[in-house]
Structure 1
Amino acid sequence: MTDTTPPAASEVLTDVHQGVGRIRLNRPKALNALTTPMVAAIDDALAAWESAPLTAVVLSSTSAKAFCAGGDMRAIRRNVLAGDAEASERFFATEYRLNARIAEHPVPIVALIDGICMGGGLGLSVHGGYRVVTENTVLAMPETALGFFPDIGAGYFLPRLPGALGMYLGLTGHRLDAADALYTGLATHFIPADRLHLVPDALAGHPHTPIDTVLKDLGDGSEVPHSKLAAVRPDLDRAFGAPTLADIRAELHRTETPWAADTLATLDSVSPRSLDITHALLTAGRDRTLRACLTADLHLARTTILEPDFLEGVRAVLVDKDHSPAWQPT
């Protein structure tokens, strides 16, 4: 075993074992919420392995509850309130560089998504080639509820999901289980949680077998429940395929189903400014490369974290947890 432990040793554990690089997130009390040193440590490890003779890189968590809850938005808010927005900008710049490295890495990356995976957690996983989910998986891009926007390259990957699924997920922050994650394409494989620990050794033991085959074999024919999103897909595509936010709302009003009513209530509860930004970002992202989307994310992040809605959204959801934000008019 070759130890390549990066600077954030206690929160990001890395090693190479029998030709498989392993990165484990180890900040369980914070649900692996990402800090700048954590992101830099992951990036350093992947950079060091770009020319290494590895079969795969496996990205996982030591937490039983979460793969990664996203970026540490409370810390970002504290930086802004302390007058140190540059510290938060460094976080986003480092994170987006890592997102691009994952997408372009020459060694296949396998993310083991057990438990919560939100925001920056999708940035660690969705840009890689293999995203394994379990019966415990919960995926979401919940940024509009925080007065922020779906970043980490979501402007690239959300518009490329089937139909209008990406616009729906980006605007509402809807939470997906394993079945929905597989249905949308955000996940590629299902393996029961009690078999997930077998993945690194299985990959190491079968270096000449396609990774897809190894993962499917570990899934052991497990049946995944039907996707709930599939049941509302026609209404979803019609509403969220509309060209403007006003048109989306109008279609939802015309639909007159419990799903449509719940979705309207969700849109009414999140930041109006974030909805505007997200709709524009995802619309423009259809014609952008991933790197262009990440550049746009950085420009937007610089200004959005200074806005009252961001400070208020993070306060309401993550700090005071009263879930009663006072949004600014759009």
Structure 2
Amino acid sequence: MSESLVLFNELSTRDGGAIAIATLNAPKSLNALSLEMIEQLSARLDAWAEDDRIKVVWLEGAGDKALCAGGDVVALYRAMTEAHHVDEAAAFAETYFTAEYRLDHHIHTYPKPLIVWGNGIVMGGGLGLMAGGGQRVATESTRIAMPEITIGLYPDIGASWFLNRMPPGVGAYLGLTGAQLNARDALDLGLADRLIPHARRQEVLDALVDADLGAPETDLRRVLRDFEARDEAPQAQVMPRLDKIQSLVDAATVTEAVTRILDDDDADEWLAANRQRLAVGCPMSAHLVWRMLARHRHASLAEAFRDELNLSVQCCRHGELAEGVRALLVDKDKNPRWSHVDVASVPERDVEDFLSSLWSPQAHPLRDL
């Protein structure tokens, strides 16, 4: 494995401790999260957790465009299309998603203060890294989305859990439409804790180096608070439209919710873009979004990750994900040929097939979470 996929550095602090920095280092792919990157980052986070000298961990992406644009779905596509048998493709998917979700869960439960510098694009698997951070920093250019409906997947990486913790209806709307959020939205919806201009990144690190981190959480908050600039946040998109969003997804079934969104003729540009994304998205994905949010409304984070692993591997066993990635990222014809014409035509038995369990509870790869 190439060590350069994730860069690791430690900055000595004036009190004899250290700040550990992990930088996803694949800027050409907007730091898309490969299996090698996941394995490298996981191993180093484990080591830093046991190192008494490390007081704070800082996670960021190389370049100025993205923390991480998502998981390495092109590698999943290759595994699906080059495999001689569906079980062969599923084996790679199981390895990849198990490693990714274990890393995400570790970030959520990390025993030391962990800052995630969420600059630029933070989508899909990138949001999986940011969502669990102890201090999640958005910048003026932060752009967050869970756009899986465009590729035949669904909001995973713990989203079945954290989308349920937003105002009623918002998580379903975001999952169905792949709506893009800015820094103000991230603060409003609990996906970020602070807004700090990206240009001040080095100043923040210098201040942390000079701080007395004897009480890391308290001192860390004080330093970050000094650099906050919420008045520089872009205009909110979600909260001013909250009543509208909630009315659109106030439905008993996903078919009704999708119909309400698509039939809406509001000329609002943000709503219209979301409507168009849903219109060309994967009908099966819409069902999976709806079902997973219902299944995990009162579930634990670990339960959500276990269920997501099952569904994500199932998505690789079926054809929608391969077709979606082909159309958007491989052939780039943006003309996916989904298995169903629309959401209303998806049979319940097909949805149940996706949701059927691949493992017993005793054999589940994430049973120990």
TM-score interval (norm. to shorter): over 0.9
Residues 1:68 and 2:79 aligned together: no
CA–CA distance in structure 1, aligned partners of residues 150 and 298 of structure 2: 26
- What is the Cα-based RMSD across aligned positions, in Å? 1.8
- Alignment deviations for residues 178-229 of structure 1 (CA, whole Å, 9 cap, x no partner): 1221221211111111112333332232224432332121125642132022
Q: What secondary structure, in the 3-state scheme, does the structure 1 residue paired with 2:245 have?
A: helix
- Equivalent in the alignment of 2:163: 158
- Equivalent in the alignment of 1:105: 110
Q: What secondary structure, in the 3-state scheme, does the structure 1 residue paired with 2:49 have?
A: coil
- Equivalent in the alignment of 2:351: none
The share of aligned pairs that are identical, in percent, is 36
Query: Matches of residues 283-294 of structure 1 in structure 2 within 5 Å?
Result: 283-294=294-305
Change (3 A) 1:255 1:30: closer
Q: CA deviation at 1:322?
A: 2.0
Query: Matches of residues 168-247 of structure 1 in structure 2 within 5 Å?
Result: 168-206=173-211, 207=213, 208=215, 209-220=218-229, 222-247=231-256
- Alignment deviations for residues 77-98 of structure 1 (CA, whole Å, 9 cap, x no partner): 0011111412232111100110
CA–CA distance in structure 1, aligned partners of residues 272 and 72 of structure 2: 32
**8 Å CA contact retained: 2:67, 2:122:** yes
Shifted more, 19-28 versus 222-231: the winner is: 222-231
- Equivalent in the alignment of 2:316: 305
Query: TM-score normalized by structure 2?
Result: 0.83
Q: CA deviation at 1:11?
A: 0.8
CA–CA distance in structure 2, aligned partners of residues 323 and 199 of structure 1: 41
CA–CA distance in structure 1, aligned partners of residues 190 and 96 of structure 2: 28
- Equivalent in the alignment of 1:15: 9
- Equivalent in the alignment of 2:15: none
CA–CA distance in structure 1, aligned partners of residues 50 and 272 of structure 2: 52
- Equivalent in the alignment of 1:39: 38
Q: What secondary structure, in the 3-state scheme, does the structure 1 residue paired with 2:313 have?
A: helix
Shifted more, 287-296 versus 214-223: the winner is: 214-223
**8 Å CA contact retained: 2:33, 2:70:** yes
CA–CA distance in structure 1, aligned partners of residues 95 and 286 of structure 2: 25
Q: What secondary structure, in the 3-state scheme, does the structure 2 residue paired with 1:199 have?
A: helix
Shifted more, 274-283 versus 51-60: the winner is: 51-60
Q: Larger C-alpha radius of gyration, 1 or 2?
A: 2
- Which amino acid is 1:110 matched to? I
- Among residues 126, 136, 145, which one is paired with 1:140 in the alignment? 145
- Alignment deviations for residues 97-124 of structure 1 (CA, whole Å, 9 cap, x no partner): 1011111111011110111111110111
CA–CA distance in structure 2, aligned partners of residues 168 and 55 of structure 1: 39
- Equivalent in the alignment of 1:29: 28
CA–CA distance in structure 1, aligned partners of residues 309 and 103 of structure 2: 13
- Which amino acid is 1:116 matched to? I
Q: What secondary structure, in the 3-state scheme, does the structure 1 residue paired with 2:9 have?
A: strand
- Which amino acid is 1:172 matched to? T
- Equivalent in the alignment of 2:331: 320
Q: CA deviation at 1:240?
A: 2.2
**8 Å CA contact retained: 1:252, 1:261:** no
Q: Show structure 2 runs of 5+ residues with no match.
A: 13-17, 341-345, 347-369
Change (3 A) 1:242 1:203: farther
- Equivalenced residue count is 324
- Which amino acid is 1:59 matched to? L
**8 Å CA contact retained: 2:140, 2:232:** no
Q: Show structure 1 runs of 5+ residues with no match.
A: 1-6
Query: TM-score normalized by structure 1?
Result: 0.92
CA–CA distance in structure 1, aligned partners of residues 294 and 250 of structure 2: 10
